[in-house]
């Protein structure tokens, strides 16, 4: 019998129990996550908001490794929205610097787990050195095949749809020939299947302008867990919940 890819969790642990409930033949192909709650996590612990972002980055690392080992093919992380520029300038600078430092530190994570990195969103507003480092990480991981991680940076779904419409018009495609597949081909996620599962942490019950076109038939999973506390156990629980649902896509 082949060991489960997450057999590293000790027998008797909650993770081990959850793993026993997961059918590897029915995994979601694409999981998208709105990583929410860093600030509230820090506030609860009487820490600066930046401490919450640092803890959230560690949660992202653990969830990414868990997803790769489990066999998830695509993982999209809502990292920085187009609305997040409204936050205090100091916090935005910290987030941009943290992203840069994490790219320096996580090159081995991409290589060891055979992960391809792709950035989705309008990166023109990102700091120049961050754009360069993102480009390097994308290029260096282009041949990786185990899993693709999409980092949604300066991303907004309505803006993405407007961009897709403009691209279709610029391509001169006849209006009568535009269908759903045409629109999908002009989105940032053109090379990915639509998410099977959308996870949002922190107890908020909204999608917040994230992948609006792509999540038309996604299963939605909301959890009160704040993002820095959302680790392997919580991710596995979300997969168990997903596999307990019946996806009919309009059929009986």
The domains found in the chain, sorted by start residue, are 29-225 (3.40.1180.10)
* CB distance 188 to 23 below 8 Å: no
| Selection from 85, 109, 9, 91 nearest residue 54 by Cα | 91
Kindly name the residue from 84, 102, 113, 209 that is annotated as catalytic. 84
At 53-110, the pLDDT tens digits run 999 999 999 999 999 999 999 999 999 999 999 999 999 999 999 999 999 888 888 9
Which residue stretches of 27-80 are H helix?
Answer: 38-44, 49-70
Token pair of 120, please? 């989705």
* CB distance 32 to 73 below 8 Å: no
CA pair distance 193, 162, nearest whole angstrom: 20
Please confirm, yes or no, whether 36 is among the known catalytic residues: yes
Kindly name the residue from 23, 36, 38, 241 that is annotated as catalytic. 36
At 19-45, the pLDDT tens digits run 999 999 999 999 999 999 999 999 999
| Selection from 190, 200, 196 nearest residue 71 by Cα | 196
pTM of this prediction exceeds 0.85: yes
CA pair distance 128, 226, nearest whole angstrom: 31
Token pair of 7, please? 């057999």
* CB distance 129 to 95 below 8 Å: no
């Amino acid at each position: 019998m082949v060991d489960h890819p997450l057999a590293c969790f000790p027998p008797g642990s909650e993770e081990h129990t959850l793993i026993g409930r997961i059918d590897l033949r029915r995994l979601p192909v694409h999981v998208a996550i709105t990583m929410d709650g860093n600030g509230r996590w820090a506030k609860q612990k009487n820490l600066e908001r930046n401490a919450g972002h640092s803890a959230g980055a560690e949660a992202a690392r653990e969830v990414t490794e868990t997803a790769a080992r489990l066999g998830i093919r695509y993982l999209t992380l809502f990292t920085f929205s187009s609305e997040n520029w409204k936050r205090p300038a100091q916090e935005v600078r910290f987030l941009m610097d943290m992203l840069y430092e994490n790219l320096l530190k996580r090159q081995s994570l991409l290589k060891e787990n055979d992960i391809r990195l792709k950035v989705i969103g309008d990166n023109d507003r990102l700091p120049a050195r961050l754009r360069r480092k993102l480009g390097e990480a994308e290029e260096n991981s282009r041949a990786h095949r185990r899993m693709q991680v999409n980092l949604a940076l300066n991303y907004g779904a309505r803006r993405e749809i407007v961009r897709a419409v403009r691209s279709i018009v610029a391509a001169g495609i006849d209006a009568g020939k535009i269908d759903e597949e045409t629109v999908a081909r002009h989105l940032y996620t053109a090379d990915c299947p639509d998410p099977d599962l959308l996870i949002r942490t922190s107890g908020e019950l909204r999608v917040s302008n994230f992948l609006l076109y792509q999540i038309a038939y996604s299963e939605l999973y909301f959890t009160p867990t704040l993002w820095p506390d959302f680790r392997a156990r919580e991710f596995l629980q979300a997969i168990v919940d997903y596999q307990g649902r019946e996806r009919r896509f309009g059929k009986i």
